[in-house]
Structure 1
């Protein structure tokens, strides 16, 4: 029997608040503008620029697209075979099929790399950086806009 100090509707309400708060905090910590080496994106995952004006989405159709108000860059990989995007330790950003065969990459592999990442900048440009030096950019990527 519920006591007057812990009515069931208040206990449920508190639990809902706690769950809602946990999800909100979790989502805020998952929003980021970069992937470090060995990080991956799966379909539905995204990067968001710090100014929140641009979003790079690994779409369910297998295309990786940077959006502002409209699409501004694409990997042109719409295919049901696309499975994951990986920022490799060699600084190559690669899209893999389920079979682990590469189907698209930035062609930015470098040896002896300590720090590399793919980064969505506040101007909507997607870049691969090695030791804080830009080695690939969606702005100069031919045939992918």
Structure 2
């Protein structure tokens, strides 16, 4: 379109009538390329984090279990044991990583509250770490394999 005029090259144009249905945009894919869950962010069933290099994948499964997979070994290497009650994984702004069921009942938590603006990071070595805003490791899956069950 130049100066409000439509220019056609090599074919005819058709204008959809007002009754022609317009397809809805495709839903956004689940985030699978990032390795960080920022303050206030969440994972819903089927969403995951991917480690740098792609060897490890932290998946919030449809059954409610948060599971770390080693995709090279094709095996789960860590999980929260929260299957059967899917809801949401939240990196709260208070610094606590929490898994809630659908009725917002906490099922599992990292126990890192009172650390505002902390974030969850899936590292290249497969460690899952809650880092404080100033970079201190507050919780990790190697040192605290089970987290806290409220």
TM range (shorter): 0.7 to 0.9
The answer on 1:140 being equivalent to 2:135 is no
TM-score, scaled to structure 1: 0.75
Gaps of 5+ in 2: 1-7, 14-25
**1:70-119 CA deviation, whole Å, 9 max, x = no partner?**
1111111111x2200000011100011111111111111125x2x31000
Q: Which runs of 4+ in 1 moved over 6 A?
A: none
Alpha-carbon spacing, 1:130–1:43, altered in 2? closer, same or farther (3 Å) = same
The answer on 1:84 being equivalent to 2:79 is no
CA separation in 1, counterparts of 2:50 and 2:32? Answer: 10
The answer on 1:67 being equivalent to 2:72 is no
The 5 Å alignment of 1:26-65 reads 31-65=33-67
Q: How many residue pairs are counted as aligned between the two chains?
A: 123
Q: Bigger CA drift: 48-57 or 27-36? A: 27-36
Which protein is richer in helix relative to its size? 1
Alpha-carbon spacing, 1:101–1:31, altered in 2? closer, same or farther (3 Å) = same
**SS of 2:99 mapped into structure 1:** strand
CA separation in 2, counterparts of 1:28 and 1:84? Answer: 14
Aligned to 2:110: 106
CA-based RMSD of the aligned residues comes to: 2.5
Gaps of 5+ in 1: 9-22
